[in-house]
A and B are shown apart, each in its own frame.
Chain A
Amino acid sequence: MSPVLAGVLQFLALMVALALAYRPLGDYMAGVYSSPKHLRVEKWIYRAVGANPATEMRWPAYLRGVLGFSLVSVLFLYLLQRVQGSLPGSLGFASIDPDQAFNTAASFVSNTNWQSYYGEQAMGHVVQTGGLAVQNFLSAAVGMAVAVALVRGFARTRTGELGNFWADLVRGTVRILLPIALVGAVLLVACGAIQNFAGIHEVGRFMGGSQQWNGGAVASQEAIKELGTNGGGYFNANSAHPFENPNGLSNLLEIFLILLIPLSLTRTFGRMVGSVRQGYAILATMTVIWVVFTGLMMWTEFHHGAPAYDIAGGALEGKETRFGIGASSIFSVATTLTSTGAVNSFLSSYTGFGGGIAMLGMQLGEIAPGGVGSGLYGILVMAVIAVFLAGLMVGRTPEYLGKKIGTRQIKFAACYILITPALVLCFTAVAMALPTPVNSLTNSGAHGFSEILYAYTSGANNNGSAFAGLNADTQWFNTSIGVAMLLGRFLPMVFVLALAGSLAEQKPVPATAGTLRTDKPLFSGLLVGTIMIVAGLTYFPALALGPLAEGLAS
């Protein structure tokens, strides 16, 4: 069998597995966020916390919950790293410097998982398992809560109430993320991912002497790292490390976990707004972009147009033998079209076009299918823009899911869309203009520019993958990327919740013959076009300077 065919078959197998999980998981999640009942363990948690899960919140209160919880999370994670040197169970690792500790705390709480540290030499068991892995759950649950609040905004009428943030946070964690992560983690152990709390210990070598290994709760962190579209590796090599991703099967499982919740949430959305076909239309849009991107990535990587790879005979630099080019390409597209940022192969060594595809995937706003929760609210904001554009064409007040899309809604949506490009392009421009940041580059020329553009694209879009040639552990990059990650995560959430509040207050508008049908293929097509034009074109000039220039040169 040719490697290309094997790649295509792996992609098809992945689609089948995701399709089988789509309905049961989507329906289950809709039930989780709609049910009036509480599990016993949830009641214990609410009692310990002192929160009443039945209290309905309007959007400002919901937002205060999101921001307050995230602020406390950042501070907690920051302090945990700062005192690591004095904590037991930290392998004797030193405390993390302030700028790096801030960067890492911002990174994991914002679901980005950008890493300017090397996992195996910097973070001990306590920080990895009790700090970073916990935020892998919680930042994902926060994303889902905000997405569900927006869906409720569409579903509810004549009320400003969007649900209870604490209940949504706890339910998402306990009923959705934990059970799936548990199953995923055990399967990963079966494949060969390690799960122990051994310290750093000596293991023999074939040629004599010994090598030093970290132990760690790797499989449990790996499962939630993918499932929660987080992406922060236990080891520096992330999912390319054999202890994180031991074979082809674990690799497919990890890609499955990355895409599982973001895709299935479209079903949850359809259920909650009372028409699963609305969910299918969104799903179709996501799938089209995902399939096209994967096809392009496989094409450019198998074609391997670059001087070094012409000599080598294939673009295998930074890729593992057990995955090969096909499975590496599938992983890289899945990780950059969601907000994951885990890598099983190193994107900086991809062909020029391959790196560009990864970057464009993030720049579309990570909506195909996007991060856990953030993908759904991202694409729903795009859908609002799409119905607005369609309304302009025919001169009607646009409506979506029975809600009028008026001036206020469009203002919120427009602000949402402008935030990330503004962050990415401004920070990139400043970094290029300053004298010192360019000292961090490994490559020069177009690829050097791409390293910096990639870093801010990844940070502001909460992805966390890197053109890792960039030495990001400098005060400038730690601070500026840290700020970009926080603003790129929480400012959009402000506008999403404001939008949700304004929608929930409305009276429903009955659909008429003139209403744009948003559950039809025509709308999916319109949405793809809107995403490519609104998000993609914003970055075109910057992409032309980086990956396009590199790709066209070879």
Chain B
Amino acid sequence: MNTTLRGTTRLLGAALRTLLVLTLVCGVLYPLTVMGIGQALFPHQANGSEITSHGKSVGSSLIGQRYDLPLKKGQETPEPDLKWFQPRPSNGLGTNTVNTQYKLLLSGATNRAGDNEELIQWVKDAKAAVIKDNSVDGYHVKPSDVPPDAVTSSGSGLDPAISPQYAHIQTHRIAKLNNLPVAKVQNLVDQHTDNRILGFIGEPRVNVLELNIALKALEGA
């Protein structure tokens, strides 16, 4: 009995020492090495791909934002500021509930199933809103023109991009509200459309933040 106990103690001691040594290797040296290389070679990416516009930080090209009007009295959710290109819905985003000294956004999806009543309603409402908001001055958006990304929430809730199709159906609205020629806005969307990497990896997309920054520059000019 005594030998078993001693054997077990020796085993657990060896296990603990192994764990501590390997923690030093994998939990300290390894991440620091990656950080050293990353910060030296790709400092922009390693620190979050921040974009500045007119000397001010306006966010990251990788993290989607909302483009909403200020919250009015009595409103629970703000209305979109239709002057700017709108991103995908983000119904899955949460707010920090554990360490409430921070106001972090919690990334996340809605996790609603395809037959969930709530999701069906969200999709219907979003589709109606996209059609209503973007049908201006003789340009009418047909239900079949609305691409699926315009009416569904992404996995992270922070999707920085929309499909080129969704960007294009917004151009007439953007042109009208900003007093710009439609062709000019369409041209802007084309310039900011990223095709598939190497022609086949990922999907074509338009980065909403970059597009809106370019739109702002166009107005200033």
Contacts of A207 in B (CB 8 A): 65-68, 81, 84
Contact: A237 with B155, CB < 8 Å? yes
User: Which residues of the other chain, B, contact A197 by a CB distance below 8 angstroms?
Assistant: 35
Verify A211–B65 contact, CB threshold 8 A.
Answer: yes
Check: B2 CB closer than 8 A to any chain A CB.
no
Chain A residues with a Cβ closer than 8 Å to the other chain, count: 127
Residue of A nearest to B10 (CB): A50
A178 in contact with B152 (CB, 8 Å): no
* CB-CB nearest in chain A for B127: A311
Instruction: State whether the Cβ of B201 lies closer than 8 Å to any Cβ in chain A.
Output: yes
Binding site for A on B (CB under 8 A): 8, 11-12, 14-19, 21-23, 25-28, 30-31, 33-35, 37-39, 41-42, 45-50, 53, 56-60, 62-68, 81, 84, 88, 92, 94, 96-99, 101-116, 119-120, 123-124, 127, 144, 146-149, 151-163, 196-197, 199-203, 205, 209, 212-213
Instruction: For A198, list chain B residues within 8 Å (CB).
Output: 47
Contact with B along A121-140 (1 / 0, CB 8 A): 11000000111011001100
**A251 at interface by CB-CB < 8 Å:** yes
A98, chain B: closest CB distance, angstroms: 15
List residues of A (1-56) whose CB comes within 8 Å of B's CBs: 1, 3, 5-6, 9-10, 13, 45, 48-51
Question: Within the complex, which residue of A68, A129, A252, A318 is in contact with B111, where a contact is CB–CB below 8 Å?
Answer: A318
Q: Which residue of A lies closest to B212 (CB)?
A: A206
Given contacts A189-B46, A248-B202, A351-B114, contact A45 B22 (CB under 8 A): yes
| Residues of chain A contacted by B101 (CB below 8 angstroms) | 92
Asked if A410 is an interface residue, CB under 8 A from chain B, the answer is no
Contact across chains for A206 and B102 when beta carbons are under 8 A apart? no
Q: Which residues of A sit under 8 angstroms from B62, Cβ to Cβ?
A: 192, 242-243, 246
Question: Bound state CA distance, A240 and B11, in angstroms?
Answer: 41
Q: How far is the CB of B205 from chain A (nearest CB, A)?
A: 5
Query: Cβ of B104 and Cβ of A120 under 8 Å apart?
Result: yes
- CB pair B34 A220 closer than 8 Å: yes
* Contact of A200 with B by CB under 8 A: yes
Interchain CB contact under 8 A, B114 and A317: yes
Are A200 and B102 within 8 A (Cβ)? yes
Contacting residues, chain A, for B42 (C-beta < 8 A): 189-190
Kindly state whether residue A72 has any CB partner on chain B within 8 Å: yes
User: Chain A nearest CB: distance from B7 CB in Å?
Assistant: 8
A-chain residues with CB within 8 Å of residue B30 when the two chains form the complex: 178, 181-182, 220
Residues of the B chain whose Cβ atoms lie less than 8 Å from the Cβ of A308: 112, 114-116, 119-120, 123
Q: With the chains together, A76 CA to B162 CA distance in Å? A: 44
Does A435 make an interface contact (CB < 8 A)?
Answer: no
Q: A13-B200, A166-B14, A186-B34 are contacts. A69–B114 as well, Cβ < 8 Å? A: no
